[in-house]
Amino acid sequence: MVLYLKLDQKTWGQLDYTDSATYDLSGTVYDENTFTNARDISGFTGTFRLINQEGETVFSSTQNLTLNNDGTFLMKFGNGATPHAHGLHKVRLRLEVSGSRITAVGVNGSDELFLEYD
């Protein structure tokens, strides 16, 4: 079983970080690929991952990741804890709860994030 994610942003400045929730990387996790019913992910522990075009994980973090009951998630990059990569990447959200691990993936580019040089 997979869940589906849709990012709110499509571009991020490489090595950018902030302490303001206004600028967090965010998205929503859904039960189906039509993005109709958001999934309550507040009971899960999450891992935020960036996957490059070769399928390799180039960034992975459990820190500063907020999972909400309305299906939204917020990833706050901190100073020294930001992706050091450039180009188009896929976002994967690994969700774990006792006895289960479910990955949220995108559909038709809904999980694509372009990391831009500053």
Q: How many residues does the chain have?
A: 118
Contact 4/104 with Cβ under 8 angstroms?
yes
Taking the C-alpha atoms of residue 76 and residue 3, their distance in angstroms, rounded to an integer, is 22
> How confident is the model at residue 39, as a pLDDT?
97
Number of domains in the chain: 1
pLDDT of residue 116: 85
Half-sphere exposure of 104 toward its Cβ, with a 13 Å CA cutoff? Answer: 33
Cβ atoms of 26 and 8 closer than 8 Å: yes
3-state DSSP assignment of residue 77: coil
- Cα-to-chain-centroid distance, residue 13: 15
Q: What is the CATH number of the domain that holds 84?
A: 2.60.40
pLDDT, one tens digit per residue, over 18-49 is: 776 667 789 999 999 999 999 999 999 999 99
pTM: 0.91
| Domain limits for position 75 | 2-116
pLDDT tens per residue, range 65-106: 999 999 999 998 877 677 777 899 999 999 999 999 999 999
